[in-house]
Chains A and B, each alone.
Chain A
Amino acid sequence: MNDLVKQFLPMFIETARDRLKKAEALAISNETKALADELHAFAGEAGVLGLFSLAARARDAETFARSLKPNYAGPDCQEHVEQLSLLVAELTPQS
């Protein structure tokens, strides 16, 4: 089964980068629901691949985004997304 992690980790990283780039834009434009949905998808993809800590951080960020008013994300949301981006940057595909 670890072969699956090796197989899908590069795709996960690529997808995660895209999602977080989109999430960053949504945080800046204060689209909190769409931001939360993006973080939710990210959490699910990290969770199924067994990246449990990353998934937990994404769920925390999603919960925070859902707690906000519909049209105001604020700087804390951007901070959450930046932290997730740093964690994704630390992932290295296994050889």
Chain B
Amino acid sequence: MSAKSILIVDDSLLFLSIIKSALEQAGYTIEVASGPEALSCLDQEVTFDMVLMDVQMPEAFGDDIANVMRNAYGLAIPIYLLSSLADSELSLRVNEAGIDGYISKNIGFEAIVARVEEILAGSDPAPVNANSTEATH
């Protein structure tokens, strides 16, 4: 069975490098984009299993791009916002965009990888509250 493939969209090259490395170590195939050009990734022959989308990017809001993916492109795979915005705001944006959920950046890459694994395994518990995973550093 081939590795599951994830499209990650974020304007921070550092963030992309960290989360790409962490997810690749966990066995996933990763494609990255830094803004709305992520839509062109959907025109390629690559089939994705999940999209992780930042919210605040210079050229567009990620939830708007996600909305287009879901409603204009008919993308039926899990689409999650991945952001350091407050949980309440992310929850609102998820509902308005009609996508699957959100993952907080504030929980660290190990917890993000664990959450992705849960989602792609088919179990999708409530979002991890960043306040419950406070600093060990």
Contact = CB atoms under 8 A, between A and B. Distances in A.
Interface of A: 1, 4, 7-8, 11-12, 15, 37, 40-41, 43-45, 47-53, 55-56, 59
Interface residues of B, number: 30
A40 B56 contact: yes
Given A4-B22, A44-B105, A50 B14 contact: no
Contact of B108 (A7, A12, A52, A53): A52
A50 B14 CA distance: 14
Q: Which of A1, A12, A51 has the most CB of B within 10 A?
A: A1
Contacts of B106: 43, 47, 52, 55-56, 59
A59 B85 CA distance: 8
Contacts of B110: 1, 50
A51 B106 CA distance: 9
Tell me the interface secondary structure of chain A in the complex: helix
A50 B137 CA distance: 7
Interface in B1-59: 11-12, 14-15, 17-19, 21-22, 25, 54, 56, 58
B72 interface: no
Contact of A8 (B14, B56, B58): B14
A14 B106 CA distance: 20
Nearest to B108: A50
Nearest to B111: A50
B112 interface: yes
Given A4-B21, A43-B84, A52 B134 contact: yes
B136 A48 contact: no
Interface in B71-111: 83-85, 104-110
A1 B15 CA distance: 15
A44 B83 CA distance: 7
